[in-house]
Amino acid sequence: MRRRIGPALLVSLLAAAALLVPDPAGGFGTVDGGGQHREHERITRAALACADGRRPGDGCFAPATLSQLAGEGRGFGAVGAPDRTEVNVPAAHCDDGDFLSGGYPRTRDQATAAIAACVEHLRGRFRQAVRGAAGLLGPHGRILEAEVRLDGGCLLVEHGEQRAKCTVLEEFGRALHGVQDFYAHSSWADEADPARPIGPANPPGLNLPAPSPVLDLRGSGAPSVPADLATGCFVLQDTVPGVGACAQRITHAAVNKDNGLIDPVTGSVSSPGTPRGQVGRNFEKAVTGAIVESRHQWRELRDALRAEYGGRKAGAMACALTHDDPPADCGGGDGRTTIAALIGFALILGVIPMSSGPRRPSR
């Protein structure tokens, strides 16, 4: 006998299924399957994991904290969060900044405006991370234990997390997602197929290194965009040639270098999975660019913390963000917590009377 599925259960099942379906617009992959190999996670680990004997804080993150930022297994992590909640936000993935000289259906100004919108979106995430870091410390500049615990993992959903460390990791991870997608979705680091004519299906590549001055997330002015820089137009039916709103335009399918195998330790690559990624060393260049850019943006975040809060507080913040047990590893927690613990211990031992009034003699 078949049982009928109620509306509430049906909605839950559909929501769960949506998390398992790879998103073709999300840039480097966040899941295993559908051609994706958790590329965002692997890039973030190759960029920010502590390898070769390095310790957390030396430009790298301790394992449990890194798993919250990069993801692990089926967990998206902060860097994968845009593929859950910003799937249809082109600025979160640096899409729709396409242009080609000579009779193209969009102007250079329109393409530049789309790329600038991506940069401004990522700047917003970056600024939120800087502001959120204030919650890591108490009024005396000591780390607040309750704000840096990772018990149960971070709730990486927009405005769903209360702990300061998780909030900063989420905002920074979302910014990293966008800068990594910039290398996968644009012509910044790649080259055109020399065996085919230049056109919407084979746009010119700039073959430029990382970090990119376009991705100035600490800045406030308009980014300087090269004349031939393009990112792909995306619609749900992502094809070459483009259809619908992307007809006669450079599409995401034509320019992306999203998929392939990446070693999460060394960053070395193999088996590029998209046509553009298979041209020359395009997939390798996109991954290398994303790794270099991710490290650069972590340095930029630390510099921004120093500029905002001063060197001493910024050092404590960076330590809290990179260590798995900041109260133990970063010079202790907030002084009030320590005092409260000492008082409690003294009460247990009977050193401090439980009552402040005079004691009556015992019989």
Question: Is residue 169 a contact partner of residue 78, using CB atoms and an 8 Å limit?
Answer: yes
Question: Domain coordinates of the chain in residue numbers?
Answer: 29-349
Question: Is residue 109 a contact partner of residue 116, using CB atoms and an 8 Å limit?
Answer: no
Q: What is the pLDDT of residues 140-181, one digit of tens each?
A: 999 999 999 999 999 998 778 999 999 999 999 999 999 999
Which phi and psi (to 5°) does residue 269 adopt?
-125, 160
Cα dihedral 146, 148, 149, 150 sign: positive
The residue among 172, 175, 167, 159 whose CA lies nearest residue 134 is: 167
Question: Is residue 235 a contact partner of residue 98, using CB atoms and an 8 Å limit?
Answer: no
* pLDDT recorded at residue 334: 59
The residue among 125, 256, 127, 237 whose CA lies nearest residue 184 is: 256
Q: What is the pLDDT of residues 121-146, one digit of tens each?
A: 999 999 999 999 999 999 999 999 99
Q: What is the pLDDT of residues 211-256, one digit of tens each?
A: 999 999 999 999 999 999 999 999 999 999 999 999 999 999 999 9
Question: Is residue 307 a contact partner of residue 133, using CB atoms and an 8 Å limit?
Answer: no
- pLDDT-derived band at 36 (thresholds 50, 70, 90) equals confident
Classify residue 241 by its DSSP letter: S
What separation in angstroms does the CA of 112 have from each of 88, 177, 248, 290, 338?
19, 20, 18, 21, 53
Compute the mean pLDDT over every residue in the chain, rounded to the nearest whole number: 87
Q: What is the pTM of this model?
A: 0.85
Residue with tokens 């009928």: 4
Question: Is residue 295 a contact partner of residue 47, using CB atoms and an 8 Å limit?
Answer: yes
Q: How far apart (Å, rounded) are the C-alpha atoms in residues 35 and 22? A: 9
Cα dihedral 149, 180, 24, 105 sign: positive
Question: Is residue 316 a contact partner of residue 331, using CB atoms and an 8 Å limit?
Answer: yes
